Chains A and B, each alone.
Chain A
Amino acid sequence: DVKVTQSSRYLVKRTGEKVFLECVQDMDHENMFWYRQDPGLGLRLIYFSYDVKMKEKGDIPEGYSVSREKKERFSLILESASTNQTSMYLCASSYLGTGYTEAFFGQGTRLTVV
């Protein structure tokens, strides 16, 4: 079974803190993605990576950065957390291939910034 594991289910941080969200997958997938999910807005892509040290901006990268030093691990960093970054964060991974390959999601991290 594919497993995508996010480091925390729930997180509460203060405004201005630096926040790290970690994601690890065990299926040797090339692609990894970070989304945030908000009511009425669905899943929005923040960043994705198709290889170690490679990253591409998604639709809403402002206020976020990412790190992919190892194939199995993709980290999302909030440099200075703000209340509008309170959201559900979902990590996903998939094989790299032509066409689409199924994305497998982690269980999500519900982040609250106070």
Chain B
Amino acid sequence: RKEVEQDPGPFNVPEGATVAFNCTYSNSASQSFFWYRQDCRKEPKLLMSVYSSGNEDGRFTAQLNRASQYISLLIRDSKLSDSATYLCVVNPGYSSASKIIFGSGTRLSIRP
């Protein structure tokens, strides 16, 4: 079983729709969680951190469920510019020098 698993998609949704992705992780002791966004032929960039209490940044909401070992990303009122690959990232340790683990990504395509 992979340490971090994501549905690869692609998710193809109309503009204005709400879309949600999940990401599961296998190490129950994992410490911190993040979503990165990667545009086609570009490098990944941090989208948002995921906190235990859930957190929101504009149209984006991230949730963590430690009991079931998954994190989620919800995008409301999706825009064409949201088309990208979304990478789930898990930090298994306490240090920033831990071997952080990236999921293989979920592709999202927003159609007009």
Q: Which residues of A contact B (CB under 8 A)?
A: 30-31, 35, 40-45, 48, 50, 56, 58-59, 90, 94-103, 105-108
Total CB contacts across the A-B interface at under 8 A: 64
A59 touches B43 (CB 8 A): no
Q: Which residues of A contact B87 (CB under 8 A)?
A: 42-43
B32 touches A50 (CB 8 A): no
Interface residues of B in 76-112 (CB under 8 A from A): 87, 91, 94-105
CA distance A35 to B91 in the complex (A): 15
B46 touches A103 (CB 8 A): yes
B43 touches A97 (CB 8 A): no
Known A42-B103, A106-B43, A108-B43; judge A98-B94 contact (CB<8 A): yes
Interface residues on B, range: 20 to 34
Q: Which residues of A contact B45 (CB under 8 A)?
A: 105
CA distance A3 to B97 in the complex (A): 19
A10 CB → nearest B CB, Å: 11
Is B52's beta carbon under 8 Å from chain A? no
B42 touches A42 (CB 8 A): no
CA distance A107 to B8 in the complex (A): 22
B79 CB → nearest A CB, Å: 23
Q: Which residues of B contact A96 (CB under 8 A)?
A: 95-97
B104 touches A41 (CB 8 A): yes
CA distance A106 to B87 in the complex (A): 16
Beta-carbon nearest neighbor of B97 in chain A: A50
Is B31's beta carbon under 8 Å from chain A? yes
A59 touches B94 (CB 8 A): no
Interface centre among A41, A95, A99, A107 (most CB of B within 10 A): A99
B52 CB → nearest A CB, Å: 13
B43 touches A107 (CB 8 A): yes
5 contacts between A and B (CB under 8 A): A42-B102, A43-B102, A50-B97, A98-B96, A100-B91
CA distance A30 to B96 in the complex (A): 10
Beta-carbon nearest neighbor of A97 in chain B: B96
A48 touches B97 (CB 8 A): yes
